[in-house]
Structures are given as C-alpha cells and as structure tokens.
Amino acid sequence: MPSDLIRHALAAAARGWHVFPLIPRDKRPLRGFTHWERHATTDPERIHSMWTRGPFNIGIACGPSGLVVLDVDVPKPDEPPPPAWDLPGVHEGADVLAMLCEQARQPLPLETFTVRTRRGGMHLYFAAPTDADLGNTAGRLGWKIDTRARGGYVVGPGSFVDLPDGSGPYRVLHAPPPAVLPAWLAERLAAPTRTVETGTSTGAVLAACGGDRAAGYALTALRGEVENVLAAATGTRNNTLNAAAFGLGQLVTAGILPRHLVEACLQHAAELTGLGEREAFTTIRSGLDAGQRHPRRAAA
C-alpha cells in the first residue's frame, strides 16, 4: 500500500502538483501538517521520505499547483435538492453542471483531468486562469458543486477514504492535462463573495441548502443558529460556529433535524463570514458530535 501511494503521489508531483500527506483513510491533513499549503511539495525525495512512514492518503494543494478543481458531488441518502434546483432531471451535481452549461450555451467541460471520488462524484481539474485570483466556493455555481482553488486542497487519486458518510477510492477516470478553466465559469466564480456586510440573509442561506424544507421548531432552531453564525464578530466566529453545531447536534440525535442539512447550512454560513472551508468543516463536525452525545427534545 505505501509503495502504491508513493507512486500516485509522485505521479501528481510530476504534473507539477504540490502534495502533502493526509491521515490514512481520511480527508484531514496528517498531524504536524496543519500548514499543509506550506508543507506541500513536488520534490520526489521529500515525497519518498513522507510516504515511506505510513499509508497516508494524498492531499493536493490547489493554490501552489495552479489548479481550480470542480467538486461535482452526489447527495447523501434522503437529501433532496433545494427548491431552486428541485427540477426534472436534477438529481446530483453532474445534472446541475449540465444544466448550467445548457443555459450558458457552452459544452460540458469534460475534456480535462477527471477523478472519480469515493461516493460516486467527480473532481474536474482545471488550470487556474492567469487573470483571476480564485478561492474556494461552496455552492456558488449550484447545488452539489463546490470548488477548490487558492487556500483549498482535494484528496488526490490513489487515496482511499473510509468515513461514516461513505467509503471508497479516488480513481483517475480521464488523464489528459488539465484544461484551462472555461472563461464563463471563471467569471461566475470570480463574483464577489456575499458576506453579512453586503446583506446576506439567513433565508438565502437556508434556501441554498434546502433548509426551508424543515418545519416548525426545527426550522426556528436552525434559522436562529444560522443567524448567530452570520452575525458573529471577527474573532468570535469559530466559537460561535462550534456553539451552533453543538446546539443543533442535540436536535439531530433527538431526530428533529437531519445532520446533512445542519452541516450544509452551517458550512455555507461559516464560509460566507470568511472562515476557511477546512476550519469550518472541522469545527462543525466536532460540535455536532459533541451535541449528539447530549440530545434534547423539542419544546412542547
């Protein structure tokens, strides 16, 4: 296994992609690689040194690698599309991408390096445009389409992830050099990020994530915690996010809210306030796990 992972890590580095180790069978950076973007490398000797220590998964730092990766995902079981995408023929991120291309009168951008992800989605690798400084996005293009660029990373091919929400390998489907990100997609991704200062509403976050399908007490609780995250002052945002996840995690265990909906709404709200995707993901998961260990019931 280590030799196979070394081969995949070296193959990525040979393409000019900066790699770093992830926890075995996980998506998180290996302990000691908190500053993964700084540690990522294309040096074969360093790669051999890192991966001979264990069967580490492969992280690819998108910024240093000059990549923009479209993460075209599939929904979790019983996860319906939000109202804006609850349309005939739309069942997953690939359907949303096809619809976006049709609306823009552009071909599907499939002639590029493509990886099948663990739950059946795709990573479409593109060369970052030289005239735009693109960062990470969550759902900006549409339901089940996120992007990773400057400040983000993806799990590289050759990795195997085994987590509660799905297990499986990351395999290369198509291996041409990454195409340059189509200009029309770059233009959409370069749009200013909405923040609380520019008037992002709680309703917009809930609608984007399908939160308006919750009802009664559940929706009130979800709305309140999303409002808390959006309104948090700089320096308090991570703690506020953790508290929100804890409170909502209690309702998840009580069967009042689905966890995937809470995760999506809090992640979206956190990234709108400026928290990084990985930082927000880790905080939300920790808070939800803690809250689920201490469930509570809805008020009568």
Over residues 154-212, the pLDDT tens digits come to 999 999 999 888 899 999 999 999 999 999 999 988 855 444 444 455 666 665 565 55
In a domain, 44, yes or no: yes
The chain-wide mean pLDDT, for the chain, equals 85
Over residues 45-91, the pLDDT tens digits come to 999 999 999 999 999 999 999 999 999 999 988 788 877 788 889 99
Confidence at residue 251, expressed as pLDDT on a 0 to 100 scale: 82
Distance in angstroms (rounded) separating the CA atoms of residues 19 and 13? 7
In a domain, 297, yes or no: no
Residues 237 and 187 in one domain: no
Q: Which residues pair with 161 in a beta bridge?
A: 168
Distance in angstroms (rounded) separating the CA atoms of residues 90 and 143? 10
Query: Domain range spanning residue 239?
Result: 196-292
Reply yes or no on whether the pLDDT at 262 is more than 80: yes
Residues 201 and 244 in one domain: yes
Residues 29 and 142 in one domain: yes
Dihedral over Cα of 197, 210, 267, 261: its sign: positive
Residues 276 and 136 in one domain: no
Over residues 205-253, the pLDDT tens digits come to 665 565 554 445 677 788 888 888 888 777 788 889 999 999 888 888 8
Residues 131 and 98 in one domain: yes
Q: Look at the chain and report how many structural domains it folds into.
A: 2
Confidence at residue 232, expressed as pLDDT on a 0 to 100 scale: 79
Name the CA dihedral angle for 176, 64, 93, 244, rounded to a multiple of 10 degrees.
160
Report how far Cα 132 is from the mean position of its chain's Cα atoms.
21
Confidence at residue 9, expressed as pLDDT on a 0 to 100 scale: 97
Q: Are 109 and 159 spatial neighbours (Cβ–Cβ below 8 Å)?
A: no
Of 174, 191, 208, the domain-final residue: 191
Rg (CA), the chain: 19
